[in-house]
Amino acid sequence: MKIIHVAGARPNFMKLAPILRELKKMPEVHSILLHTGQHYDVNMSDVFFDDLNLPWPDINLEVGSGSHAFQTAQVMERFEPVVLSEKPDLVLVVGDVNSTLACSLVAAKLDIPIAHVEAGVRSFDRNMPEEINRIVTDTLSELLFTPSLHASKNLLNQGIPAEKIYFVGNVMVDSLLYALQIARKRSVWKRWGLKPGSYAVLTLHRASNVDDYETLRELLAVIAQISQGQPVVFPVHPRTSHRLMDAGLDALVQSFPGLILCEPLGYLDFISLLSDARVVLTDSGGIQSETTILGVHCLTLRQNTEWPETIEHGTNYLVGTNQERILQALDEIYKNKRGQPERPEGWDGKAASRIVAVLRRHFHLQ
């Protein structure tokens, strides 16, 4: 059996790594790792192959950046000849980036079965490009591997037949637990003379936050206030760096005395930084999951989340971009007003093995 595994952006590598490790145990399966090149910065993609013990990609489409339409079209145009040449039995896509959508469309039109890992995740906000990618990919997929019971319910509500839906758990947690012991030994906070539990971590990259300059200014104002009381480490996403320069805010950010700016970190370094943080402020989906497993409080700087279980069971607070709400949530955290967090069902490091078990049954593999 031949499977093409599609990766395009940083989170995709975390989700594919444990699946590829499980499939290596099956000599009857030939895995082809395809990198679309959607993320091409060394710390946004290349370093992940070392950190996650991933094999180097067999194929790189080298698409690069561009508008959503341009990027999606480029991936489709370059992926189609690969599928026609390789003739895979399955195209496995993960997450919700443009590469996920583009490769699913190509596979569907060529009548190749699609498996979607992290299916059914919904923010119910169609202004997010990722939401459109999720809905379309789930509609086209034959095997839908969900990370939560919420996600499975979303698919049923969308009208997808129950026999296509498999609740397997969160495969990102597999990567986190696999790497955690090594990551913690790195003590990345030492680079800036910090101590465990004494600092916050900030990440920003969503268009709704960084492309809207009024929202960006409001967030920076509250970060300036927070950084007066504790250091805030801010690995700056390339997109955010460009937006700060475009808005003329880069000098302002550099003037905040407690804000520590750095380049994007590799996976192990970033997990090391997260694991010893006092609190994390982010607009990322994946970080909401990671902080829940790490037991680190997380403020999600968005109006919605695709991971409701991180609020119900974990350490996540959905605070939007309002300064008062953000500071109020911080006050709750510092006063320990929330009870002991729990690990959501299926977030146990065994999602990849459950995915491979389904593939065995579905394709009648020994």
Residues annotated as catalytic (active site), given as ranges: 205
Nearest Cα residue to 260 out of 226, 228, 302, 231: 231
Nearest Cα residue to 39 out of 121, 97, 107, 103: 97
Q: Which helix (H) or strand (E) covers residue 143, if one does?
A: strand 143-146
Integer Cα distance of 146 and 143 in angstroms? 10
Query: Which residue in this structure is represented by tokens 């020994």?
Result: 366
How many Cα atoms within 13 Å fall on the side-chain side of residue 219? 28
Question: Helix (H, G, I), strand (E, B), or coil: what is residue 170?
Answer: coil
* Amino acid occupying residue 262: C
From first CA to last CA, the distance across the chain in angstroms is 11
- Max Cα-Cα span within the chain: 61
Nearest Cα residue to 65 out of 29, 90, 41: 41
Cα–Cα distance list, 257 to 207, 226, 261 (Å): 26, 11, 11
Give the tokens for residue 217.
């200014």
Q: Which helix (H) or strand (E) covers residue 278, if one does?
A: none
Nearest Cα residue to 100 out of 197, 6, 5: 6
Integer Cα distance of 113 and 5 in angstroms? 12
User: Within its chain, how far is the Cα of 206 from the centroid?
Assistant: 12
Q: Are 155 and 3 in contact (CB under 8 A)?
A: no
Integer Cα distance of 10 and 100 in angstroms? 13
Integer Cα distance of 75 and 66 in angstroms? 11
